[in-house]
């Protein structure tokens, strides 16, 4: 079974037909979900995705996407607790030569802790941090 990390910009592209990466995201989604798969994401990515959709006047889409993620048996949520937050903060501080967000750093930690190597993302930051990014 293939395991993937779900990033915010992939989820947004999947949900919004107006997103520049929508067609590619849908194609990749269909490819991934055609064989056994499992996704991992964080409560921070969830928050970013729902907030982004809602802030662009897509409240119903935000609720629908949120419910789909929360109820899916194929998605494991890493809930960012105090320990993970401070580990992410410490990692963020070490990347003074990168433009990684705190959410990115927490995502990197979640991936490393769960042995994930592939992020579904359009963000090159994952590649810079040593992960594979799909779609490429």
Express each pLDDT in 73-105 by its tens digit: 999 999 999 999 999 999 999 999 999 999 999
Domain that includes residue 92, residue range? 2-134
Helix (H, G, I), strand (E, B) or coil at 90: helix
The Cα 121–Cα 118 span in angstroms is 9
pLDDT value of residue 136: 83
CB atoms < 10 A from the CB of 63, how many?
13
Mean pLDDT to the nearest integer, 50-66: 97
Evaluate whether 69 touches 75 at the Cβ level (below 8 Å). Answer: yes
Question: How confident is the model over 14-33, as pLDDT tens digits?
Answer: 999 999 999 999 999 999 99
- β-pair partners for 55: none
pTM, two decimals, is 0.96
Q: What is the CATH number of the domain that holds 71?
A: 3.40.50.1010
Q: How many structural domains compose the chain?
A: 1
């Amino acid at each position: 079974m293939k395991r993937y990390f779900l990033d915010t910009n992939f989820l947004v592209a999947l949900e919004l037909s107006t997103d520049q990466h929508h067609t590619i995201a849908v194609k990749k989604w269909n490819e991934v979900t055609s064989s056994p798969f499992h996704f991992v994401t964080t409560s921070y990515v969830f928050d970013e995705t729902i907030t982004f959709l809602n802030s662009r006047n897509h409240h119903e889409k935000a609720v629908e996407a949120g419910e789909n993620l929360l109820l899916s048996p194929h998605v494991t949520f890493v809930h960012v607790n105090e320990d993970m937050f401070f580990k992410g903060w410490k990692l963020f501080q070490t990347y003074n030569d990168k433009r990684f967000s705190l959410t990115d750093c927490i995502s990197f930690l979640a991936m490393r802790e769960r042995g994930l190597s592939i992020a579904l993302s359009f963000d090159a930051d994952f590649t810079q941090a040593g992960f594979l990014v799909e779609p490429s």
